[in-house]
Amino acid sequence: MQSSSIMMGGGAGMESRLGNRPPMFYHHQRAAQNEEQKHNRFLQLQSNQNHAIDHLIQEPTNQSDGILLTPYDLYSNEVPRVTSIHPNEPFMKISVVKSNNDATLIQNEFYVTPRGMVGSLRSQSDGDVMIGRQYITESGQRPNDILLPVTDLAISRTHCRIVYKFGFKSHYQSDFNKSLYTDKKSKFPPQWLEFFKALHRRKTARSQISIPFDVRRIIIEYLRDPQNFYVQDLGSVHGTFIKVSKDQSTMVKKGQNYQIGTDIFFNIVDMQYSSQPVLQLSEDQTQKDYKDFMMYLAKEQATDTKVYGIDKHEFGKYLKIYKRQQRSAYDRDRTVEPPTRIPYPFSVMKFEIVTSGGMSSFHLFVQKQFQISEEPGHTGQFILGRATTCDIVIGQNTISREQCRFFFNNDGSEDRWKMRRWYIRDGCDQRESANGTWLCLTDYRLRIFKQESQPEPLQMGSQIKISDTILKVEWMPPLGLKPSPLDQQQIHSESRNESDQQILISGGQFLARPSDDELLLQQ
Report in angstroms the alpha-carbon separations of 271 from 253, 390, 412: 7, 22, 21
pLDDT value, residue 188: 56
Position 237 pLDDT exceeds 90: yes
> Which of 189 and 25 is assigned the larger pLDDT?
189
Whole-number CA gyration radius for the chain = 30
334, 416: one domain: yes
- Residue 201 pLDDT grade (very low, low, confident, very high; cuts 50, 70, 90): low
pTM for the structure as a whole: 0.70
- Specify the pLDDT at position 328: 61
pLDDT at residue number 344? 78
| pLDDT of 268 strictly over 90 | yes
Q: Are residues 86 and 101 in the same domain?
A: yes
- Confidence at residue 274, expressed as pLDDT on a 0 to 100 scale: 77
What pLDDT is attached to residue 483?
A: 43
Nearest one of 156, 85, 77 to 117, comparing CA atoms: 85
Pairing of strands 392-393, 456-457: unpaired
Give percent above pLDDT 70 in the chain.
59
Please calculate the CA angle 35-37-40 and round it to the nearest 5 degrees: 110
pLDDT at position 361, please?
Answer: 94
296 or 182, which is more confident: 296
- Both 3 and 96 in a single domain? no
What's the start-to-end Cα distance of the chain, in Å? 88
Q: Tell me, yes or no, whether 349 and 398 share the same domain.
A: yes
The more confidently predicted of residues 342 and 402 is 402
pLDDT at residue number 100: 75
- Summarize pLDDT for 44-96 with one digit per residue, the tens: 545 554 444 445 554 444 333 433 334 333 445 567 888 889 888 889 999 99
Which residues form the domain of 162? Answer: 50-189+225-240+451-479
Q: Are 290 and 429 in the same domain?
A: yes
Q: Report how many domains make up the chain.
A: 4
Give dist(CA 214, CA 231) in Å, integer: 27
| CA 420 to the chain's CA centroid | 21
Domain check: are 268 and 374 in the same one? yes
Coil/strand/helix, residue 439: strand
Helix (H) or strand (E) holding 18: helix 2-19
- Which range of 223-237, 242-256, 370-384 scores highest in mean pLDDT? It is 242-256
d(CA 262, CA 436): 9
One domain, residues 288 and 397: yes
Please indicate, yes or no, whether residues 364 and 509 belong to a single structural domain of this protein.
no
- Other CB atoms within 10 Å distance of the CB of residue 337: 9
Q: Are strands 382-385 and 392-393 parallel, antiparallel or unpaired?
A: parallel
CA distances from 82 to 76, 115, 277, 480 (A): 17, 7, 59, 18
Claim to verify: residue 210 and residue 280 sit in the same structural domain: no
- pLDDT for the residue numbered 105: 53
Is residue 92 domain-shared with residue 214, that is, in the same domain? no
Instruction: Kindly state the DSSP code that residue 388 receives in the 8-state scheme.
Output: T
Q: At 158, which CATH number?
A: 2.60.200.20
Q: Indicate the pLDDT class of residue 196, thresholds 50, 70 and 90.
A: low
Residues, the chain, total? 523
> At which of 403, 434, 450 does a domain end?
450
How high is the pLDDT of residue 212? Answer: 72
Examine residue 345 and say whether the peptide bond preceding it is cis (omega within 30 degrees of 0).
yes
Q: Which of 409, 432, 450 is the last residue of a domain?
A: 450
Which is more confident, 102 or 284? 284
177 and 200 co-located in one domain: no
Shared domain for 369 and 437, answered yes or no, is yes
